[in-house]
Structure formats: C-alpha cells, structure tokens
Structure 1
Amino acid sequence: MRLLLFLAFLVVPVLEIWLLIQVGSVIGGPATVALLIADSLLGAWLVRREGRRAWRALQDAIGSGRMPERELADGGLVLVGGALLLTPGFFTDVFGFLCILPFTRPLMRRLGAWFFERRFKRLAASSPYANLFPSHQDPRQDPRHDAAAPNGGRVVHGEVIREDRD
C-alpha cells in the first residue's frame, strides 16, 4: 500500500503536467487555462448541489431510523470528488466528476466497497487476533460440523441429568 501511495504521488502530478502540456499544445495556453477555470466552476457548483442532496438524504435516513450506509458513502464520495476537483489538472478532474455525478456515483460506490472489503479482509487475516473470531467459511469444512445437526449446526454430545426434588 505504501508503494502504491508513493507511485500515486509521483505519477499523478507528472501525468497531470504532461496532459496539460498536450492540451495546451492543441488548443493553446489561454484556452487551456480557461478550460481549467470552467471545469473548476462547474465542479464547485456540482459539489455544492450534490453535497446538499447527500446531507438531506443522510438526515432523512437517520430521521427514519434506518442505517445510512449508502448516504454516508455518497457523502464520502462527494467529499473525495470535491478534493480531486480542487487539484488543478484534467486527470484528477475526471475522477472527481466520476465521484460527484449522481449517475456515476453508484459505480464508484461499488468500486470503493470492493476495495475496502478486500483491504479489511487482508488486515483481518494478518491480525494477531484473527484466530479468535470464526471465519465465514463453509461449515462442512469445520471438523466440529455434524451433518445430522438441525440447520447444519454443531451437535454437542452430552448427558442430561435430572435431579428430582421431593
């Protein structure tokens, strides 16, 4: 993960500068700066609009007593998208707009859920406490599993002793 972050902080600025030079050579310097300003203004307007929508949806979910999973993810994506739109450049703006636009946000939400699920599973597996918690494996692979148990559960063999109280 550290290597990935190092490469991201090294490669993304170089890619942004290269892309700015390429766009500037095609449409000219002043037009490139105007395009950057225009997409920043559009991004600021979108962040404000979608941020309000996400906040309202979060309040509605909490008000109805429902766990606001999707609403929290949307709020986080709007926040990340806004941060990406603040950085000058076209490459980060594309990812910022993907995080903010309402029709691309579900795709980014699924991508984020997939990434974090993999990351948490890897962290949980490497944890010193990993053996303390049951895994989500097939119970038939567990040596304690008894096929005759109801609902595929465990059978604990024992003896019942009744004490009659007179």
Structure 2
Amino acid sequence: MFMILLLLVPVAEIAVFVQVGSRIGAGMTVLLVVVSAVVGVWLVRRQGLATATRVQAMVARGESPALGMLEGLALLVAGVLLVIPGFLTDIAAFTLLIPPLRRGIIRLYLRHMHLESGVTHHPPGTDKPGRTPLEGKSRRVD
C-alpha cells in the first residue's frame, strides 16, 4: 500500500499543479504553495509547543501521556507533509492541524489497530477483565 501511495501521490500532485496553474497562472501557483508551506510550518510549530506543554502537564499529574504523544506524532507528520510541495499533501497536513480532526483521526487509527482510545487505569490488586497468564503459574506482585 505504501509503495502505491509513493507512486500515486507525485502523479496526483502534478495533475493538480497543472489544473491550478492553468487557472491562476504558474507564478500564483508557486506563490500559493510557498505561502501554504510557511503558514503551515508556523501552525505546526505553535501547536507542537502547545502539545509538548500538555504532555508535560499530563506527566506531572501522573497521567499517561500516550494520547498527547500521538498528537505530537500527528503534528510531525503534518510538518513533513507541509515540506513536500503540493496541494494534496498540504490539504492532508492542514487536516492534521485542526485539533478536533486530528484527535478523530487518532481515535480512528487506534480503533483500527484494536487499541483503546483512552487509557484505563486499574487500581493495584485488581486484574484487567479477561486477562489470563499465557502459560505456567503466576502471581500478581504490586
């Protein structure tokens, strides 16, 4: 799947460049790509710092920073997409820069990977439902 995307994305980007360039001109097309990259990088930096602060606060409160770290990873992906010239990659990047959409995409990814979307805390001494040892004897040590 990755190889197909690696081949199709540049072809699609070129097709979009040609369509946009034929409508607004080559110079305006290049300017639009540069402006979207500059604005996007500024937004990634700003949201990245906010996410880092949120993750630090989660750690300070003793909460799992897993979701915050996934948001940071999504922002990193958005930054990489913004560096790649093109309108389709910019649209994907800006989608990741909208916090509710980014969180929704992360939740869909977690569901797709059959992971919990949130962190469930179990008090010491209680077992997780349906969890059994793989083999042999075991005892819980807290």
Q: TM-score range by the shorter chain?
A: 0.7 to 0.9
2:101 is aligned to: 104
> How far does the alpha carbon of each residue in 1:18-75 deviate from its partner, in whole angstroms, 9 at most, with x for none?
1011100010000000100110011011000000011001100011110112201111
> How far does the alpha carbon of each residue in 1:104-158 deviate from its partner, in whole angstroms, 9 at most, with x for none?
212221222133338xxxxxxxxxxxxxxxxx6xxxxxxxxxxxxxxxxxxxxxx
Matched letter for residue 51 of structure 2: A
Alignment of 1:118-137 (within 5 A): none
How large is the RMSD of aligned CA atoms in angstroms? Answer: 1.4
**Structure of larger gyration radius:** 1
Matched letter for residue 79 of structure 1: L
Task: Pick the aligned partner of 1:6 from 3, 6, 27.
Answer: 3
2:74 is aligned to: 77
Figure out how many residues of one structure are paired with residues of the other and give that number. 116
Alignment of 1:5-154 (within 5 A): 5-117=2-114
Does the Cα contact within 8 Å between 1:98 and 1:104 map onto a contact in 2? Answer: yes
Does the Cα contact within 8 Å between 1:82 and 1:96 map onto a contact in 2? Answer: yes
**TM-score normalised over the length of structure 1:** 0.66
Does the Cα contact within 8 Å between 1:84 and 1:92 map onto a contact in 2? Answer: yes
Go from structure 1 to structure 2 and tell me whether the alpha carbon gap of 1:115 and 1:85 turns closer, same or farther (over 3 Å shift): farther
> How far does the alpha carbon of each residue in 1:91-112 deviate from its partner, in whole angstroms, 9 at most, with x for none?
0111111112223212221222
Does the Cα contact within 8 Å between 1:44 and 1:82 map onto a contact in 2? Answer: yes
Matched letter for residue 30 of structure 1: G
**TM-score normalised over the length of structure 2:** 0.77
The runs of at least 4 consecutive aligned structure 1 residues that moved more than 2 Å come to 114-118
Distance in 1 (CA, whole Å) between partners of 2:112 and 2:26 is 38
List alignment gaps of at least 5 residues for structure 1: 119-135, 137-166
Distance in 2 (CA, whole Å) between partners of 1:22 and 1:32 is 10
SS at match of 2:99: coil
1:126 is aligned to: none
Does the Cα contact within 8 Å between 1:82 and 1:100 map onto a contact in 2? Answer: no
Structure with more relative contact order (C-alpha pairs < 8 Å, separation 6 or more): 2
Matched letter for residue 70 of structure 2: A
2:123 is aligned to: none
Matched letter for residue 86 of structure 2: G
Distance in 2 (CA, whole Å) between partners of 1:97 and 1:13 is 18
Matched letter for residue 70 of structure 1: L
